[in-house]
Amino acid sequence: MNIVITGAAGFLGKKLVKALLAKGSLLNRQGQMQNITKITAFDIAPLAGIDNPRLQVVCGDISNPAELANLINEQTDSVFHLAAIVSGQAEQDFDLGMKINVDAARQIMERLRALPQRIRLVTTSSVAVFGGNLPDKVPDDQVWMPQSSYGTQKAMNDLLLSDYSRRGFLDGRSLRMPTIVVRPGKPNAAASSFASGIIREPLNGEAANCPVSTDTRLWLMSPDKAVAALIRGHELDSEKLDQGRVINLCGLSVTVETMIGSLRKIAGDDVVARISYQPDQAIINIVNSWPGDFHADYARRLGFEANASFDEMVREYLAEKDATA
């Protein structure tokens, strides 16, 4: 099994590389377990800190078709395409978002189409495709009405992946990710960055700002569950995908207040006191356009799993922090 991962130096990419190396095998398109012989970890910056003979680290530009042609070739069985411009940056720089989130993704699909073997493509989409008048709990057949360029670009990609799959150019699966919390590391330009920041920074003795109202409801998934979902998304038999190639994953629906309550229970009042509450209207506008709860019946039927509680998500972060300390 020869696997290519784009955006591999990102936090989810790196976790996926580790998980695949640990797992050692994946189902192939014939439904048989096959050893993973090679993982090519592609990103604009090198994936550092993992040393394994089956891992090849490659730096490059996902928007360059010549580099893509080298990266993805006759030996490739599966591609996890995780490289993306995040929501805040795609809103600030429309052209960069289109270039990476739409055009580069399309070039990857064109590359898969040009190869003789049917390659499995797993990619991520976002709840940012939803917006407008929404029910409290969004059903799987809810129309897409993105209120951001990021959501627009992810939805375009979802459509294209579905059509490329229908035409047999590739075997695609797009997973609509809840907001991933608690992300390790630094804040990023995603409008949802605060959702990890208000847990992570206080736990690390630092101040964090909550830019939205504490009654804001978010749809969340922990990093471990996200990696499990990517692998599950890869393993599904195409014939099971009877509701299409785009899957609204199941997540945990919680308010910011509940999140802070878990933090208080697990880490105490002093830690929670490091959170400030300065509203940021730009973030409020984007985050409020995202739904806070989903039915996700299709994902559940396909065997995807949600976190049981926000406590579990805080504890997952603490365990990860201890393991890497």
Q: Which residues are catalytic?
A: 150
Strand order in the sheet with 252-255: 179-180, 217-221, 252-255
Give yes or no for a contact between 207 and 105, defined as CB atoms under 8 angstroms apart: no
Secondary structure of residue 176 in the 3-state scheme: strand
169 CB neighbour count, 10 Å cutoff: 19
Give yes or no for a contact between 248 and 299, defined as CB atoms under 8 angstroms apart: yes
The amino acid sitting at 261 is G
Which parts of this chain interact with its own copies (CB under 8 A)?
A: 94, 132-133, 140-147, 149, 152, 155-156, 159-160, 162-163, 166-167, 243-244
For its own copies, give the closer residue by CB, 132 or 268. 132
Instruction: Give dist(CA 236, CA 238) in Å, integer.
Output: 6
Secondary structure of residue 63 in the 3-state scheme: coil
Smallest distance, its own copies to C-beta of residue 244, A = 6
Smallest distance, its own copies to C-beta of residue 148, A = 8
Instruction: Give dist(CA 236, CA 233) in Å, integer.
Output: 6
Give yes or no for a contact between 83 and 126, defined as CB atoms under 8 angstroms apart: no
Smallest distance, its own copies to C-beta of residue 152, A = 4
For its own copies, give the closer residue by CB, 102 or 254. 102
In the block, which residue shows the tokens 């940012």? 128
Beta bridge partners of 179: 220
Measure the CA angle with vertex 210, ends 98 and 149; round to 5°. 15
Could you give the C-alpha distances from 211 to 10, 109, 149, 282, 291, in angstroms and in order? Answer: 24, 37, 21, 9, 17
For its own copies, give the closer residue by CB, 57 or 134. 134
Smallest distance, its own copies to C-beta of residue 83, A = 20
Smallest distance, its own copies to C-beta of residue 121, A = 16
Angle (deg, nearest 10), helices 310-324 and 223-235: 100
CA torsion angle for 99, 108, 4, 59 (degrees, to 10)?
Answer: -40
For its own copies, give the closer residue by CB, 50 or 115. 115
For its own copies, give the closer residue by CB, 10 or 146. 146
Smallest distance, its own copies to C-beta of residue 130, A = 10
For its own copies, give the closer residue by CB, 150 or 317. 150
